[in-house]
Structure 1
Amino acid sequence: MKVICAGIQKTGTKSVAEALRILGYEVHDVFQQYFYEEELWKKLLSNRITKEDYVEAFKDVDAVTDFPASVVWEEILKAFPDSKVILTLRSSEDEWYSSVKKHYEVAYNLIKVGWNDTLYTILTYLAGPLNRDFTNFTILFMNNAFGTRFPWGIAPEPILRSRYRQHNMYVRSRCPPRQLLIYNVKDGWGPLCEFLGVSVPDAPFPMKNVASSFVKEVTSNRGENDSGFSARSHKELVLRVSLFVVSLIVLLLYLICYLI
C-alpha cells in the first residue's frame, strides 16, 4: 500500500482513482473493495478485524480510494505506516453539499418506483442478488462515512455539513503532516505528482463522475473500472425480467384457459 485516499465521497475520489491508474498504481476503488476485500469488510462489521487483516487484504494493492477505505483510513495507515495519505477537498463546503445533493437526485430519479413499496419490491427482485448485495454494502458504509442513516433520502443538510467538517478536521489532526497532501482535483497533476515523487504524465488530468455521471454509466451498463459490476448486474436484470415476463404470460394463459 503506497497511497491511502482519505477524502470523503463527492470530493473528486473517482478523478483521483483514475489519475493514480494513469500513473501506474493498482487502485482499489469502491467496486474493487466490494469484490476483492469482501472478507475484510465482513470482519470489520463483526468487530473481528486486526492490523494483520489489512496487511493481508491490501498487500498487492498500491492505492485505495473512496469507501469503505476512507472510513478506516487511519487503521490502514497503521498497517502500512509508510503510506502517503491524500485528503481530497472541494473548493468549498457549499460546493461539496451541492454535489452530494445532486448525487442523491440522480440516483433516486433512476429508481422513482422506489417510493412505492410494492413496485420497489418488484424492482429489487428483478435487479437480482448482485444489485441487492451492493446496495446493502453501500448503505452500510456510506452511512458510516456520513455518520447517519436516512434510507430513501438525503440526510438533513446540517448533519451532512457537520460530518464533512468533522471528517476533514480529523484527518488533518491525526495524519502526520509529512505524509499528508490536502488536495483539490482542480489543481491538476502538479501537486499530486510532486507529493508522490513522480513525473507529470503526458495526458490531461481526468475529471470523472461530473454531475454524478458515474451512477448513470453503471446503471446503463457503461461502467468503467467497476470490476464487471455493470455487465453482471445487467445480465441478471435481463434474465430476471425475461423470467418475470414468461411467468406472467403462463399465468395469463392459465387464467384464460380456466375461465373458458
Structure 2
Amino acid sequence: MKIICAGLQKTGTKTIAEALRILGYNVHDVFEQFYHEKELWDKILNNTVTVKDYQRILENVDAMTDFPAIGVWEQIYEAFPDAKVILMVRSSEDEWVKSVLKQREVANEYLIIQNDLFRHFRMHFITGPLAFAFHKIETAFTIASLGVPRMHGKPLPEAFLRSRYRQHNSYVKSICPKEKLLIYNVKDGWEPLCKFLDKDVPEKSFPVVNVRGEMTRQVICNRWKYDCGFQKIVLKQTYIRVGILLSICVAFIAYLIHIFTSLVQ
C-alpha cells in the first residue's frame, strides 16, 4: 500500500482514483475493494481482523479510495506506516453537503422501492446474494464514515453530515505526520498531487469523474468502465432469479386457469 486516500465520500474519490490510475498506480475503488478484499471487510465486521490481515490482503494494492476503506483508513495506515495519505477536501463544507445530497437525489431516481422491508425482499429474491452482501457492507461502512446508513433512500440529516465532515478532517490532520499528508482539492489538478508523489506531471488533462452523481447512472445502467466483475455477476444472478420468479408466476397462473376451467365444466 503506497497511498491511502482519506477523504470522505463526495470529496473527489472517483477523480482521484482516475488520476492515480493515470500515474500508474493499482487503485482499488469501491467495487474493486468489495470484490477482491471482501474477506477483509467480513473480518472487520466480525471483530476478527488483525494487522497481518490488512498487510496480507492489501499487499498488492497501491492505493485505496472511498468506502469500505475510508471507514478504517487509520487501521490501514497502521498496517502500512510508510504509505502517504491524501485527505481530499471540497472548497467549502456547503459544497460538500450539496454534493452528498445530489448523490442521494440521483440514486433515488433508480430506486423504484425505497421501503427497507421491500428493499430486503428485492435483495434476497431478485438481485441475489452478491448484491445483498454489498448492501450489508455498504450500510456498515457508510455508517462508519458518514454516520448515516446509506447515501440514498430517506432524507439525510445535514447536521450529522456537517459534524462528521468536520470531525473526520480534523482527526486525519491531527494524527498524520505533515510530511506524509497532502490536504488536497481535486480542483487543484496535477501539480500538488504529482509533487507530493514525486511523479512527473502527465501530458494528459486532469480527469473529472462522477460529476453530479453521474457514476451512479453508469453503474446502474452497466456502463461503468471499471467493472471488475461485480456488476456482471449481479446481473447474472438477477436474470436467473427473475427467470425463476416468472416461471413460478406462469405456472401459478396456469394452475389457476386449470382450476377455473374445471369449476366451469
TM over 0.5: yes
Task: Tell me: CA distance 1:148–1:219, structure 2 relative to 1, closer, same or farther (3 Å).
Answer: closer
8 Å Cα contact 2:123/2:129 also seen in 1? no
- Displacement after TM superposition at 1:65 (Å): 0.8
- What amino acid is the match of 2:179? R
Letter in 1 for 2:238: L
Identity of aligned pairs, percent? 48
Deviation at 1:130, TM superposition (A): 1.5
CA contact (8 A) 1:10 1:100 kept: yes
Checking the alignment, whether the CA contact within 8 Å between 1:114 and 1:120 is kept in structure 2 is no
Equivalent residue number for residue 237 of structure 2: 236
3-state secondary structure, aligned to 1:94 = helix
CA contact (8 A) 1:6 1:71 kept: no
Please name the residue that 1:249 is paired with.
250
User: What is the DSSP-based 3-state SS (H/G/I as helix, E as strand, rest coil) of the residue aligned with 1:4?
Assistant: strand
Which one-letter code corresponds to 2:193 in the other structure? L
Q: Report the CA distance between 1:217 and its aligned residue.
A: 1.0
Deviates more, 1:20-29 or 1:236-245: 236-245
Q: Tell me, in whole angstroms, the C-alpha distance in 1 between the residues paired with 2:155 and 2:139.
A: 12
Which whole-Å deviations, capped at 9, do the CAs of 1:145-176 have from their partners, x for residues lacking one?
A: 11244783243110110000100010011100
For residues 115-126 of structure 1, the aligned pairs below 5 Å read 115=115, 117-118=117-118, 121-122=121-122, 125-126=125-126
Instruction: Measure the CA separation in 2 of the matches of 1:77 and 1:20.
Output: 18
Match of 1:131 in 2: 131
Deviations 1:40-64 (A, max 9, x none): 1222122222221111111111111
| C-alpha distance in structure 2 between counterparts of 1:246 and 1:226, whole Å | 30
Contact 1:222 1:230 in 2 (8 A): no
The one-letter code matched in structure 1 to 2:146 is F
Shift in CA distance, 215/124, structure 1 to aligned 2, threshold 3 Å: farther
Answer whether contact 2:86 2:182 (CA < 8 A) is retained. Answer: yes
Does 2:38 align with 1:48? no
Counterpart residue number, 1:208? 209
Partner in structure 2 of residue 186 of structure 1 = 187
Alignment of 1:1-260 (within 5 A): 1-115=1-115, 117-118=117-118, 121-122=121-122, 125-149=125-149, 152-260=153-261
Q: 1:76 to 1:122 in 2, by over 3 A?
A: closer
TM value normalised by structure 2: 0.92
Taking structure 1 as reference, are residues 170 and 34 closer, same or farther at Cα in structure 2, changes over 3 Å only? same
- Calculate the TM-score normalised by the size of structure 1: 0.94
Output the amino acid matched with 1:19.
Answer: A
Note the aligned Cα RMSD (angstroms).
1.8
Inter-partner Cα distance in structure 1 for 2:52 and 2:118: 45
Matched residues in 2 for 1:201 and 1:192: separation?
Answer: 11
* Structure 1 unaligned spans of 5+: none
Larger mean CA deviation between 227-236 and 173-182 belongs to 227-236
Alignment partner of 1:253: what SS? helix
In 2, are the aligned partners of 1:31 and 1:229 still within 8 Å (CA)? yes
**Structure 2 spans left out of the alignment, 5+ residues:** none
Give the deviation of 1:113 after TM superposition.
Answer: 1.9
Q: 1:156 to 1:116 in 2, by over 3 A?
A: closer
Query: What secondary structure does 2:85 align onto?
Result: strand
Residues 1:246 and 1:65: Cα distance change in structure 2 (over 3 Å): same
Cα deviation 1:192-235 (Å, max 9, x = unaligned): 11110001112111111111111111111112223122222122
Q: Do 1:55 and 1:79's aligned partners in 2 also have CA atoms closer than 8 Å?
A: yes
Q: In structure 2, do the counterparts of structure 1 residues 180 and 233 end up closer, same or farther at CA, with 3 Å as the change threshold?
A: same
Distance in 2 between residues matched to 1:194 and 1:119, nearest whole Å: 46
